[in-house]
Structure 1
């Protein structure tokens, strides 16, 4: 069995007693080295989950356990050694005058020796393809480059969990693809648990498991292929369906025996090739 890294046990949260519940009795687990996606429409509670994992918020009901420790106001600084978060707007995370200063910031707060910091800066920037920009001022970078630096700053503290909270929302399609490839490569190299929080279903195909949030509750939890198969239901809760899934359905209607739910163009082409070979 895989080791649990994150546990939510009957967690509920609201932003004040006079406000409605944003999360309602949510329970789930995330395992070590797992790639998990959390999706849902705006206001479904997915970003609140991210903030609860990192101790930016605390639940009114239920319990959150990270790497065997319950998240409390007393334990939060230790919890944050395990959990790194990258937000939607990288400008909100920059504090240094140069790229290397910014990557060093989190390590300075943790009292990491300078010799170790120099090594980690180099390793983290190399991991995201930004090593040659060490002395560049952050405001001179493109949006995708800024997000890479933000990821490097998190990687430098050696977290066990990397959370991307809508981290590609401000990028163009090419930038999104590049960032997600960078992150999945880093996850494989570092054996991190990766949690991608997004409303873009195209980003979840590389996840092992998907949690779908709707109105503060867990609507479904399954592998991406099983989630994408529920096209009509996803539309009913305000989520779009990837083009490749729509195309697969249209091909079936046209009489082509496309048996499996394709997650990408390569899988669909493979299905069509198999179908052609057996006709």
Structure 2
């Protein structure tokens, strides 16, 4: 049985006493070494969830536990050692004059010995394929390179959870694909839980599980295939579905006996090849 790492227990949050509730009695679990995508329309509460996980915000109602420990003002610094977060704009996270200085910053704050710091800098820059830029000033990097450095800086503190809060939103399709391939490889190699908050449907299809938010509540919680099978319901709450899923539906309407819910080109091609072989 998988071990629960993050627990939201009837969590409600609003940004002021006169404001509407952004989250309303939200409950879910995230397990160790799991990849979960959190999706929803703008204002559905996705980014608020990320900030609550990292102790940047605290709920007015309910409880959040990280590895069994309630997130409070007293525990928040220990929580942040376990939960790393990468935001949409990496420029907001840079503090060092060079790439290696930036990666070292978080470790210095945690009192990591110098020899261990040097070792980790090498490891994480290799992991994100930025070892050749260690002496480069961060502002001279491209958008994709900046995001890689931001990820490396978080990985260097060895968190057990990595949250990407719209971390690929400012990148072009190629940059998004490269970042997600890197993150996927990192998760496989480091046994780290991964939470992606995103509008990118291709990112969502790569996750093990999807939590769909709508108006501050959990609307659905299932595998990507199960979620995207509810195409009409998703559209009603303002969400898109992958193009491949739409194409598969159109093929079904034209009497092609597609029996599965393909999520990517390879799955659709396999389905069509199998169909062709039986005709």
Give the TM-score taking structure 2 as reference length.
0.99
Q: Which residue of 2 aligns with 1:153?
A: 153
Distance in structure 2 (CA, Å) of the matches to 1:22 and 1:204: 23
**Residues of 2 paired with 1:122 and 1:238: CA distance?**
43
Aligned to 1:74: 74
For 1:2-28, what per-residue CA distance to the aligned partner results, in whole angstroms no more than 9, with x for missing partners? 000000000000001000000000000
- Are 1:248 and 2:248 counterparts? yes
Partners of 1:202 and 1:235 in 2: how far apart?
A: 17
Contact 1:39–1:201 (CA under 8 A) maintained in structure 2: no
Aligned residues: 279
Per-residue deviation, 1:49: 0.2
1:122 counterpart = 2:122: yes
Q: CA-atom RMSD, angstroms?
A: 0.5
Name the structure 2 match of 1:264: 264
Alignment of 1:198 with 2:198, yes or no, is yes
Query: In 1, Cα distance between the equivalents of 2:50 and 2:89?
Result: 15
Alpha-carbon distance in 2 for matches of 1:239, 1:181? 24
- Give how far 1:277 is off: 1.1
Deviations 1:198-237 (A, max 9, x none): 1222211111100000000000000000011011111111
Q: What is residue 10 of structure 1 aligned with on the other side?
A: 10
Within a 5 Å distance, the mapping from 1:42-57 to structure 2 comes to: 42-57=42-57
Q: Could you tell me how far apart the structure 1 residues matched to 2:165 and 2:17 are?
A: 26
Gaps of 5+ in 2: none
SS in 1 for 2:195: strand
Q: Secondary structure in 2 aligned to 1:18?
A: coil
Moved over 3 A (4+): none
Q: How many angstroms apart in 1 are the aligned matches of 2:94 and 2:81?
A: 19
Distance 1:17 1:175 in 2: 40
Alignment of 1:136-215 (within 5 A): 136-215=136-215
2:33 aligned partner: 33
What is the match of residue 19 of structure 2? Answer: 19
Alpha-carbon separation, structure 1, partners of 2:79 and 2:116:
21
Contact 1:14 1:21 in 2 (8 A): yes
Separation in 2 of the partners of 1:131 and 1:199? 30
In the other structure, the counterpart of 1:109 is: 109
Normalising by the residue count of structure 1, what TM-score does the alignment of the two structures yield? 0.99
